[in-house]
Amino acid sequence: MTNNLQATTTLSNGVKMPWFGLGVFKVEEGPELVNAVKFAIKQGYRSIDTAAIYGNEEGVGQAIREAINEFGITREELFITSKVWNSDLGYESTLKAYENSLAKLGLDYLDLFLIHWPVEGKYKDAWRALETLYKAGRVKAIGVSNFQVHHLEDVLKDAEIKPMVNQVEYHPRLTQAEVKAFCDNNGIQFEAWSPLMQGQLFDHPLLKDLANKYNKSVAQVILRWDLQNGVVTIPKSTKEQRIIENSSIFDFELKAEDLDQISSLNENHRVGPNPDNIDF
């Protein structure tokens, strides 16, 4: 299964997606961003996740170009994700948003393009646009983010191509079991954002006990739990030490009862917005 940083899951269309990547949510444009992305790639990360709304696609693109030049890797070895923002959802506007993201990143294609939020009345037209891009060979894979079961069912009613990925808030206090089961049953890869709950779990007694038991950090225990549950994960960090630590999770395995204990911490508690309640 997942025994190294380059390990991949195969999406429903045959595209290989790394199990582990770097998120850059709220990392501002500038040297810190460029250095973090380059450092991660140098350490062996191959997946970088950004979004139009993060306002940092240009810096991510710069880091990718510099990494390719300096570290002897190719564009094809990398897996780059971006997302269309709510104000751009719609058929023509989503097509345009894709071109804008590519231009800012300075890339010819994306590996994965996602609808960022399921805005009522807009996401189905956006999905048709993603299908158009996919059928034209402009993007390797398409998916959604923050979709609940009823949103997915709604898209699947008319979709010619089903979403390959659903990226949602997922951590031990929000396991989204129903959404995950639906995705698993429909061949949609589940992916976690905010896997560490923005650091709010680091003092949790059970997680601290497990960290001691496995001689790992709490973050490493949580991220390992993601992988063993078949969930792609993209923790965000700009600190070199943390980028290394987060990815040092391929040399141990959590026992089944410990996985269950972590899952039992679920309280349906969100740190981000509720997808059924979008006013932005």
Domain ranges of the chain: 8-198+231-237
Q: Among residues of the chain, what percentage have pLDDT more than 70? A: 99
How far is Cα 271 from Cα 190, in angstroms, rounded to an integer?
A: 18
Whether the per-residue pLDDT at 167 is higher than 80: the answer is: yes
Work out the average pLDDT over 26-31: 89
- Mean per-residue pLDDT for 193-209? 96
Does residue 54 have an active-site annotation? yes
What CATH topology corresponds to 8-198+231-237?
TIM Barrel (3.20.20)
What's this model's pTM, rounded to 2 decimal places? 0.97
Share the mean pLDDT of the chain: 96
Judge whether residue 1 has pLDDT over 70. no
Q: Phi/psi zone of residue 106: left (φ > 0), alpha (ψ -120 to 50 degrees), beta? A: left
| pLDDT above 90: percentage of residues in the chain | 96
Token code pair at residue 51 = 């979004």
Write the CB contacts of 224 (distance below 8 Å, at least 6 apart in sequence): 216, 249, 252, 253, 254
The string of pLDDT tens digits covering residues 120-146 is 999 999 999 999 999 999 999 999 999
Is residue 194 pLDDT above 70, yes or no? yes
What was the pLDDT predicted at 2? 62
Asked if residue 233 has pLDDT above 70, the reply is yes
Pairwise CA distance, residues 39 & 240, whole Å:
7
Q: Give the mean model confidence (pLDDT) for residues 106-114.
A: 98
Catalytic residue of the set 45, 54, 123, 170: 54
